[in-house]
Amino acid sequence: MPKTGQEIYRRNCALCHGADGKLGVSGAKDLSTSPMGLDERINRIAYGKDLMTPFTGLLTDEEIRLVAEYTLTLK
Ligand code: HEC
């Protein structure tokens, strides 16, 4: 079941980060201006921080990588 990064993002991330990454619910960082590179994003998504849920176990490694790549396209 090939899910795209965008689908994964809309389903799991947009409620806090917004469709464009800028929403900022519960202190969520603006993903469109985040200086983080791909590896750091993958880590943050896998392990979470503060009010951000860790997605290990909820998403596969492949899905985490796809959604991390998608967040890099948010501008
Ligand atoms: C329950 C709300 C919530 C959800 C759902 C959520 N996040 Fe977050 N996210 C946060 C918060 C809060 C932070 C800030 C954490 C901190 O640095 O203190 C954050 C930070 C981040 C960061 C780090 C940005 C930076 O520059 O520090 C990334 C990347 C990120 N989220 C990606 C995602 C992705 C991708 C998803 C979906 C798989 C997701 N988040 C789902 C709340 C959420």
Residue nearest to atom 29 of ligand 1 (CA): 41
How far is the C-alpha of 8 from the C-alpha of 64, rounded, in Å?
9
Assess contact for 48 and 54: CB atoms under 8 A: yes
| Mean pLDDT calculated for residue range 17-40 | 96
So what's the pLDDT on residue 1? 55
**C-beta 19 within 6 A of ligand 1:** no
Q: Give residue 2 CA to ligand 1 midpoint distance, Å.
A: 23
Residue whose token pair is 């009010």: 51
pLDDT band at 12 (very low <50, low <70, confident <90, very high): very high
Q: How far, in Å, CA of 34 to CA of 72, rounded?
A: 9
Q: Given a cut of 80, is residue 2 above it in pLDDT? A: no
CA of 17 to the centre of ligand 1 (A): 7
Average pLDDT of the chain is: 95
